[in-house]
A and B are shown apart, each in its own frame.
Chain A
Amino acid sequence: MTPLSLSVEGLTKSFGGLSVIRDLSFTVPAGSATALIGPNGAGKSTAFNLITGVYRPDAGRIRLGGKDITGTPSRRRIGLGIARNFQNIRLMPHLSVLENLLVGQHVRAGGLIDLLTPYRLLPKHRWRAEALAALAECGLERHAAERVQGLPYGIRKRIDVVRATLSRPGLLLLDEPAAGLNPTETQALHRHLDMLRARGMTLLIVEHDMHFVGRTCGHVVVLNFGEKIAEGSLAEVQRDPLVREAYLGGMAA
């Protein structure tokens, strides 16, 4: 996989009269790990939904690896190299872990022959083998045959991330991947993300945990009320008075 850059320019989105994203511009260099941070309601998840095409922007452009994808339908974007997890873990609860991962592979296995191969009768099939290997890399292989429904939160959270990687994206969007994980699981997630970057994935991460951001992301974009208020290294943005005010209210000003 080739790392892909992302740039958004003048992105604007409102729902009814509520302006959620206003004239947002930032760039995620190819191969970097960039964090998108900001208080609750700052528009981070909406930005993800605009980048992946769940919502159409009212104005502005989105470029992936230099290519304008603003008008590309959501379903085609994963094929261009964008994949994402979901803040609220949208795995298919009635399916096994393995089947959920096969869903994540779909974009590479959507041809008619792949669609009609009875993989469930073929335990050694390459799609299964690949999904199992991806699970094994994260130490989660023992859950492969289990139904997602009954699994603990932290494991489901991590499987949601694994599923997002199975399309082999050049840009991976992670919405609060560490939220709700215990320290051991967080360490494992760090190792996983390091591995993905080493393989050439650009990461754009929404995260509230600043230790996590500091450990993984070299570049930070700060949103507040749908606007970018700061950009730079974590240390730089933490010194920024606008950022301090956004997080601490009027107290720091």
Chain B
Amino acid sequence: MTAYQTGLLVILALNVLGAFAVYLPLSAGQLNLGIAGFMAVGAYAAAWLGNEQGWGATAAIAAGGGAAALVACAVAVPILRTHGIYLALATFALGQVITAVFLNLEPVGAAAGYPVTEHIGPAAVLLTTLGVAALVLLLSCTRFALCLTAIRSDAVVADLMGMPVRALKVAAFTLGAAIAGLSGGLYALHYNYVEAQHFGVMLSTYTVLYVLLGGTRSVWGPILGAAFFTLIPELLRASAGWRYAIFALLVILFMAWRPAGLLTGGLRLPWRRRAAEETP
């Protein structure tokens, strides 16, 4: 594999993690437009713990996920009181606040950026992503995922069915943030450099687009969306300056063709189809 291909694969892995981070709360109906802020928390936490506290790569990255989860859990209660477009706006603002804090935080380099000493190779990024993807896929087969879908579909009925709606929403939001933090930690230790500007509006927007384009009703949607968004611009490289224009046009066409995302019915795996048919 060429260095270019490996590099692309790492970007894909980080984007898939970001897409999962958006997908989890979205499956309960919460649009998190500030996901880059949680990635920044994970990236800076992992970088700082490695640089200043001498933590190993694994511990530092895991702590990055944990730090983002803590921030999410702390803000979840006030922020999840808002709904719909207001929740999106609140998370958007939160992402901006977090980025602005890091941009001015001297101990981690402020606007000059923050070099990271600990390093992880592409294999570590890819393996961690595979592990997280396996866990998210497994989670999508549980009642937890069913509850999130029920809440998105009809929160009043979910409540009457005995579901702790608020707690489940907080759990989905926090879990998404943890994955975002993890991806931030991987980013920091793989590229050995963090700067607040990277975790801006564009990163949040793109990450949300992976999920919206891929489909929000199945866990395969974010994977597909992230792959599409990462690989298509690369394939369009030959068209040089026009590639983003062509790409944007493709996105519009895709949304017109599949307004609910590329995947809408969930992926029917061969053995699942058989199981469904066996059901009397």
Contacts and interface: CB of A to CB of B under 8 A. Distances in A.
B154 A90 contact: yes
Interface of B is mostly: helix
B141 A167 contact: no
A106 B161 contact: yes
Interface of A: 52-54, 74-79, 84, 86, 90, 92-95, 98-99, 102-104, 106-107, 109-110, 114-121, 123, 132, 136, 141-142, 144-145, 167
A110 B150 CA distance: 14
Interface stretch (B4-12, B90-98, B220-228, B271-279): B271-279
Interface residues of B, number: 31
B127 interface: no
Contacts of B150: 92, 95, 103, 106
B149 A95 contact: yes
A130 to B, nearest CB: 14
A35 to B, nearest CB: 22
B217 A115 contact: no
Interface of B: 138-144, 146-147, 149-150, 153-154, 156-165, 217, 272, 275-280
Contacts of B165: 75
B147 A132 contact: no
Contacts of B138: 118, 121
A228 to B, nearest CB: 25
B168 to A, nearest CB: 9
B279 to A, nearest CB: 5
Given A90-B154, A145-B276, A119 B143 contact: yes
B158 A141 contact: no
Contact of B149 (A75, A78, A92, A123): A92
Contacts of B154: 90, 92
B52 to A, nearest CB: 36
B162 A90 contact: no
Contacts of B276: 145
A110 B163 contact: yes
A107 B142 contact: no
Contacts of A118: 138-139, 141-142
A55 B115 CA distance: 56
Contacts of B146: 95, 99, 102-103
